[in-house]
Amino acid sequence: MDKIHIPVLLNESIDSLDIKPNGFYIDGTLGDGGHSYEIFKKLSPEGLLLSIDQDQHAIEFVKDYYKDSLQPNWKIIKSNFAKLDEVIKENNIQRLPDGILLDIGLSSRQLEESHNRGFSYLESSEPLDMRMDQTLGVTAKDLLTVFSEKELADIFYKYGEERYSYRIAKEIKKNISNINTVGDLTRLIYKAVPAADNSITKNPSRRVFQALRIVVNDELGSLQKVLDKSFEILNQNGRLSVITFHSLEDRIVKNFNLEKSRSGEGSLLFSKYIAPTDEERISNPRSASAKLRTLIKK
């Protein structure tokens, strides 16, 4: 299998961690392993890298793709990054991390090779699943069934910033028995939204799918938990670097960093954030909305 995901802000994020060859680093979002491998290459045999992903397909891909580079000091574990502290304990790691990297969201592999999970609104025949960790109980279809019209509208508005959230929710509840696939849902969204707001560039399915995915995977709750836990366990002068792709995530990271710098517990590496260069945006359009923020623990 080939690599699909192009790591975003690769040099900037690796530089932000200020990697010491003997240090201990955590990559909470392994994906296709692009960032992890770059960290691993900078470590000596005394250094340690712990890479985590909640998607079993990501774990299997990286273990196979990097099989010739794998060493005992690169641990690859399937877990939710919100359980970072438990993973460290279970693996009997007796060191404090010198740097933690989080590259939030979906990988291009999950969008393009979803294993029938319906992450992309373009894959019309796939079921409405959207679970990154397939051992979780609740799928996107379950949410559409269980939530009321108002609850669905609130979700689309809050997590998708969708202005036609009520119309879409109403249409969904009216047709719930006929919604099983991605295509069933996108056709219905198309019908619910006025023609002028239904174009390829403004496709409302993108926002509704983002909202459902955030709720299915409790993405914002996990992000808040991992920030708290990461900062707590970081070594003195350790760095927490987070790459986000939309404003809801970025707000959580920005507020967390500001709170730690105001309280004097941490300091900001960049006065604002680092964004991709024009060159990176053009060569990898998925990087366009990325923001990297780094907090240093005092």
Ligand X SMILES: C[S@@+](CC[C@H](N)C(=O)[O-])C[C@H]1O[C@@H](n2cnc3c(N)ncnc32)[C@H](O)[C@@H]1O
Q: Which is nearer to ligand X, 105 or 238 (CB)?
A: 105
Spatial separation of the C-alpha atoms in residues 95 and 31, rounded to whole Å: 24
Give me the residue whose beta carbon is nearest to ligand X.
Answer: 31
In the complex, least distance from residue 173 CB atom to ligand X, rounded to whole angstroms? 29
Spatial separation of the C-alpha atoms in residues 152 and 221, rounded to whole Å: 18
Beta bridge pairs of residue 242:
102, 293
Q: Which is nearer to ligand X, 22 or 283 (CB)?
A: 283
In the complex, least distance from residue 181 CB atom to ligand X, rounded to whole angstroms? 22
Q: Which is nearer to ligand X, 47 or 105 (CB)?
A: 105
In the complex, least distance from residue 134 CB atom to ligand X, rounded to whole angstroms? 11
Could you tell me if 255 and 270 are in contact, meaning their C-beta atoms sit under 8 angstroms apart? no
Q: Which is nearer to ligand X, 103 or 129 (CB)?
A: 103
Q: What are the angstrom distances between the C-alpha of 89 and each of 62, 94, 232? A: 23, 8, 14
In the complex, least distance from residue 225 CB atom to ligand X, rounded to whole angstroms? 9
Environment class of 242 (CB within 10 Å of its CB; exposed 0-12, middle 13-18, buried 19+): buried
Give residue for tokens 């010739």. Answer: 68
Q: Which is nearer to ligand X, 5 or 260 (CB)?
A: 5
Ramachandran area for residue 247 (φ above 0: left; ψ -120 to 50: alpha; else beta): alpha
Q: Which is nearer to ligand X, 80 or 257 (CB)?
A: 80
Identify the H or E element spanning 48.
strand 48-53
Q: Helices H, strands E: what count in the chain?
A: 13, 7
In the complex, least distance from residue 86 CB atom to ligand X, rounded to whole angstroms? 12
Sheet holding 266-268, edge to edge: 74-78, 48-53, 24-27, 99-103, 239-244, 291-297, 266-268
Q: Which is nearer to ligand X, 83 or 260 (CB)?
A: 83
Contacting positions for ligand X (CB under 6 A): 5, 7, 29, 31-35, 52-55, 58, 80-82, 103, 105, 107, 132, 222
In the complex, least distance from residue 191 CB atom to ligand X, rounded to whole angstroms? 32
